[in-house]
Amino acid sequence: MRLVFPGGKAEEFPGPVRVREALEKVYPTEEIKDVLGVRIGDQLLDSQTLIEAPGELKLVRLKEDTEDTGGYAKEVSEDTHKRELELIGTRMAKADIVITTALIPGRPAPKLITREMVDRMAKGSVIVDLAATNGGNCEATVPGKDVDANGVTVLGPLSLLSDMAGDASRMYSKNIMEFLLNLAPEGELKLDLEDQIINETLVTRDGQVHHEPTRLIAGSEVQK
């Protein structure tokens, strides 16, 4: 399968290939970090979509950074927002579950899912809008409520983090219990270094640094 990239460079691929993988074969990572997807003819493909037929690619780039230095979403220009919506729209119709998380500190949550996108999803699909506390990323979100939007369930939870505390505590305590039972299966400490969990969590033994990452940092010699 022959793909032609901007500038006329062509590459042969043995079969279908994801957009991102095709781009990485041709361009250094820093040159494509702002690429949202590609156009082939009048078809728009996001970075994870399979290219299944030969063609000429045109890159769809963001013109600005969409995150601040802390990793949070930030307000973007109308042109960039339009590009985001276009790419999101190409994936929504294929998704059964969508979870949104975009928040801008001190501002209403950006609208990333339009009602039209929701209408294109299959009936029975679910959208979980974790940005509901600031209004939501989906136009169909009603903060604090679960709503039916043309057969798509849109969840707008407001207390998800506090609701998770009990389950998170139980899962953590079970992990700790299982770890301790593995260390002392009959009530007495047994360091079985053939056990991957024990071997890779043991930091020191007999006065020597056993844990390799710690050893490398400290410049010590691992206990053989």
Amino acid at 113: I
| CATH T-level fold of 78-158 | Rossmann fold (3.40.50)
Among 43, 61, 60, CA closest to 52: 43
Does pLDDT of 218 surpass 60?
A: yes
For residue 98 the two structure tokens come to: 């969508």
Pick the CATH number of 2-61 from 3.90.730.10, 3.10.20.30, 3.30.1360.20, 1.10.3430.10: 3.10.20.30
Does pLDDT of 143 surpass 70?
A: yes
SS3 209: strand
SS3 19: helix
Q: Which of 22-31, 68-77, 123-132, 185-194 has the lowest mean pLDDT?
A: 68-77
H and E: helices and strands count for the chain: 7, 13
Does pLDDT of 174 surpass 80?
A: yes
pLDDT, one tens digit per residue, over 52-75 is 888 888 777 655 455 555 555 555
Q: Domain locations in the chain? A: 2-61, 78-158, 191-224
pTM for the complete prediction?
0.53
pLDDT, one tens digit per residue, over 81-134 is 676 777 777 778 888 999 998 888 888 998 989 999 999 899 999 999 999 999
Q: Where are the beta strands (DSSP E) in the chain?
A: 2-4, 10-12, 17-18, 35-40, 43-46, 50-51, 55-61, 97-100, 126-129, 146-149, 152-155, 204-205, 208-209
